[in-house]
Structures are given as structure tokens and as C-alpha cells.
Amino acid sequence: MRLRLGKNVLTLSETVVSAFSWEIMSHRRLFLATLSVLLLAASGVAANNTLTRRSAIGGDQRLVSPGDIFQLGLFPLANGTKWYLGIWFTVSPAAVIWVANRDRPLNASSSGTVTLSGAGDLVLLDAASNNETVWSSNSSAAAPSAVAQLDDNGNLVLADAAGAVLWQSFDHPTNTYVSEMRIGKDVGTGAEWSLSSWRHAYDPSASDFRYVMDTRGSPELHIWRKGRKTYRTGPWNGLRFSGIPEMATYKGMFEFQFTDTADEVSYMYHACDGSPPSRVVLHESGVIKRMVWDSAALRWRSFWSGPRDECDRYGVCGAFGVCNEVDAVVCSCVWGFLPRSPVEWGMRNASGGCARSTPLQCGGGAGDEDGFHALRGVKLPETHGSSVDAGASLEECGRRCLANCSCTAYAASDIRGGGGGSGCILWFGELVDTRFIDGGQDLFVRLAKSDLDTATASTEPVKTKKFVAVITILIIGFGLLLLWLGFLIWKKVWRRKEGESPWCVSEGQSETATCSIAHVM
């Protein structure tokens, strides 16, 4: 059965759809695409995981990784009218992790064939157009004896007879990265390993959203849309990206690797032995999601997504603003700063940011030195205007900042050692995209001495009042408890004495008592 299967898929899907509820019918396009891939997976011929010049696959044939974790073949989208060469999870054929001809699909009537060219390139041919090459790996070196192999990590590798890698799909990601796949940049060649979202659930062509590694300052991952930044993870701090505290909860499931050398800046994760299938997808909506397969429910679970809330939206509070999702008004200025435009802030538009209330006294006389205000538990601001020294201590970092009149803040670059951390990030210029977050880091913002004195005067009385209030409440509560206990004891003694009162005597066998009026009076 070759590409003509598309017609059968449409016939079967119409029968199935008519039996389902109106909710399934409203998602007919997505259902058809998923059903088509499932049918292909069920009927395909799985010879092995290797393709040579003497073999080819087409129609419902496919390559299967040694452990049957991933499969490669042709799959239909858009009601079976367009066909693509891709790689997907065996347990979830609709979870496609890579597409070769994402911008140039085959037509439903076409007959696609995947083979190796005479020069050793992996190619997709369209028999309906005289075997025109629809897609090619375009490997740099010719290797007539090359072979293509699908590995258990989902990587399609083209190698020569000696095993040297000529081309691999992991170097050309689409909208998904999986375990052992890099996201980053080759510093020497300028090559990037980045994600670009699908245009739609039934159209895998590259859309407007991109997920890339920014290597200016301390490296971090950004989402861009048409040249505009929409989200950032925060810089790598030795354990995780500072804006993704969820990464600390993945122990036993994933291990993270961050490379920052003169040749390469990249990030990848490794799935631990026995962990379920997982993937990180840049959705067509511009949200990056970590998905993990739930084998009991036979569905993907979302472990994390970003942006997750209003405070994750890039620059929402402007320069020197800080965002707190739990506040009624999420944006505020860092201590020592005031809104640049109170009118705009009053209209809940804080993108203009904040301005310093008192100029820095760089080089001032004794007693007028600048200092630092600690902003606790935050995602560190964007690091474009920063410098990083992994070998410096945090104390040395503060001294360096004070010695440079352009320095506006500092923080630890590595928190693996505990305590306040080590290493040094110095910011020069505006602090942008800072937010409070669980498990966040400490950021030390430079202020004029007068603002520091005000900060101390405003915070210490608050702490003292809170302490006095707590002590007062405890004393009052303890006093009330003693009064209550005393009342219970007195009541019990009074009742006992009342039964033995000499003023009241029992009359015969009656249960009533007659008391002397004289004594009562």
C-alpha cells in the first residue's frame, strides 16, 4: 500500500467521525491527521533502522530505531492532502519531533521515495514530478558509501564507511528538541541549533516564533517573534535557568548539561534510565512546553511552559521595574526608583519603566558612598549589558561594581556551592525583565546612600512593629487562657461547695432542697 492509502484514510475517518460526538467533529482536521499517522504506523513495513544506496522507503514503509522508540517515514497532514518526511515517537505517532520537507510538502497524489543519492546525500524524491528532489540533506562531503541510520534518541545520522558523521537531523531541529539534542550556537562557524514553531497544527512550515540561545552577556534562551522578544528564561546559574525553578523538580528524570566554551554555547538534557519519553516543543502560539509521556493515561503531561503568566511577558514592567504575579498590580519599581510616567502607570501600562529618584554619588566623599539594596528571590534581569567572571567571589563582585561608576547591579553567576553563590555578573545600564519567583536569586541593586538610609528607616520600624504586635498577641492570648482555666476551676469548686451548703437541708426523700430565707437574705 503506497500513498493511495490517503484515500482510504479519508473514507475511514468519515465513518469514524460520524460515530463520535460533535466535540470530536469540531476538531476534525486534527483528528484526521492523527488517525492517518496511526494507520501508517500500524501498516508500515519495519525492516530495520538503516538505509543504504541499495534500499529505499516510500509510502507506508519506515525506518524504526533499534529499541522501537522512534520511527521515520512519510505522514499526511491537512486531511491527507499534504505529505511530509518526519520522525515521530512510536508510542505517540502524532508527536512528530522532526520534519524534513516542512516548507515543501508532497501532494496527496504524489509518490515520495526516501533514498541515498549517488553523492551520498539523503534525499526525498517526488515520482509524480519525474523524481524531482523535494528535499536533500546537502551534506558537505561526498561519500558514495554513506548510510543513514535512525538512533534510539531520535537522531537521523548520515555517516560514511568509517563512521564519521556527515550530517544529522539533531543539527537541524524544527519545533521540538528531545534528550541529547542541543539548543545553542557554534561560536566558530556561527551555526545555530534553534527551534521554529509550526505555522499550524496541520502545517509544519516555519512560523514566526523562534527559540534561540542569546550569547551576549550570560547566555540564556529567548523566544522571538518577528524580531521582537517575547520571553526569556533568565541566565544559566550552574543548576538551571534562573527563571525556571521547575527544573529543580526533575531529579531522577532528567539531567542538564550546559556548555559555555570558546567554541560552543549550548544546552541539552539527558533522560535518566527508565524515565518516560519526553520532548520540549515550541508551540505555534509561541509558548515553549516540556511534555512527558504518561503511559498509564496514554497522553502527554505538561511539566512546564513559558511564558507561564503576565510576569513572564518580556519587559512588562520596563527598566528598573519588578513584577510580582501575586500582587493586585503586578508591576512596581525597585526601591530607590519612581515611575517615569505616573499617568501611564495609573493606566496599568508600566512598560515605560522607572527612573532613579536620587543620582548615584560615584566618587563622593567619606560618608556619601553608594551602596546596594538586596532584591531577594528574583529571576535575574536581562544580561545584554553585563559582564561575567566565573572566578570572582560575590564579595569581590560587589567591590568591582562600586569601583565602576557605570555599574548598576551585581549577582552571583553560579549558585551550585550554596550560600550566596559564587562568580560574578555585573550589570551596566538598565535592569530589564526582572520578576519575583519561587526559588529565585538575590540581585544587589546600586543606590545612593540617601536612598539606602531611607530603605533602612522604612523597613526596620516595620519589622519592629511586627515583632511588638506578635509579642502583644501572644501575651494577651496567654492571659486569656489563664483566665479561662481559672474560671473552670472556680466553677467546679463552687458547684462542690453548693452541694454541701449548711443553709440548705433536704426534706425527706425529696430531691429538692429548702433553704433558710434568713440565711439567704
Residue 29 falls within a domain, yes or no? no
Residues in the chain: 521
Q: Which of 269, 285, 308 is the last residue of a domain?
A: 308
* 161 and 178 together in one domain: no
- Which residue spans within 122-250 are E strands per DSSP? 122-126, 132-136, 147-150, 156-159, 165-168, 176-177, 183-186, 192-193, 195-200, 203-214, 220-225, 228-232
Indicate which CATH number applies to the domain containing 368. 3.50.4
First and final C-alpha spacing in the chain: 114
> Which of 308, 336, 351 delimits the end of a domain?
308
Q: Say if 417 falls within a structural domain.
A: yes
- Residues 151 and 119 occupy one common structural domain: yes
Core vs surface per residue 429-464: b (16+ CB within 10 A) or e:
ebbbbbbbbebbbbbbbbbbbebbebbeeeeeeeee
For the chain, percent of residues with pLDDT exceeding 70: 81
Q: Kindly state the percentage of the chain with pLDDT values over 90.
A: 68
Mean pLDDT of 450-475: 57
Q: Is residue 62 in some structural domain?
A: yes
- Model pLDDT, residue 110: 66
CATH number at residue 142: 2.90.10.10
Q: Confirm if 62 and 96 have CB atoms less than 8 A apart.
A: no
Give the CATH number of the domain where residue 217 resides. 2.90.10
Residue with cell 525492516: 47
- Residue at 379 is within a domain: yes
Instruction: Point out the domain boundary residue: 459, 482, 516.
Output: 459
Of the segments 6-15, 153-162, 445-454, which one has the largest average pLDDT value?
153-162
Name the amino acid, one letter, at 41: A
> Which residues is 84 bridged to in the sheet?
75
Please compute the mean of the pLDDT values over residues 309-335 and round it to a whole number. Answer: 96
Is residue 220 situated within a structural domain? yes
Q: 430 in a domain, yes or no?
A: yes
pLDDT confidence bin for 509, thresholds 50/70/90? very low
- What does DSSP say about strands 264-271 and 254-260: parallel, antiparallel, or unpaired? antiparallel
Distance CA 261, CA 188 (A): 11
148 with 74, same domain? yes
User: Which of residues 364 and 393 earns the better pLDDT score?
Assistant: 393
Q: Which backbone phi and psi does 145 adopt, to 5 degrees?
A: -100, 15
Report whether pLDDT(357) > 80: yes
Q: Does any domain span residue 91?
A: yes
Whether the per-residue pLDDT at 67 is higher than 80: the answer is yes
Amino acid identity of residue 364, one-letter, is G
SS3 481: helix
In this predicted structure, the answer to whether residue 140 has a pLDDT above a threshold of 60 is yes
CA dihedral over 30, 32, 37, 39, signed as positive or negative: positive
Please state the rounded mean pLDDT for residues 355-381: 87
Q: How far apart are CA 258 and CA 264, in angstroms?
A: 10
Does residue 98 share a domain with residue 158?
yes
Which pTM was predicted? Answer: 0.78
Q: Is the pLDDT of residue 44 over 50?
A: no
Greatest CA span in the chain, whole angstroms?
129
Cα-trace Rg, the chain? 34
What is the domain extent for residue 56?
47-172
Q: What is the pLDDT of residue 391?
A: 94
* The predicted structure's pLDDT at residue 38: 45
* Domain count along the chain: 3
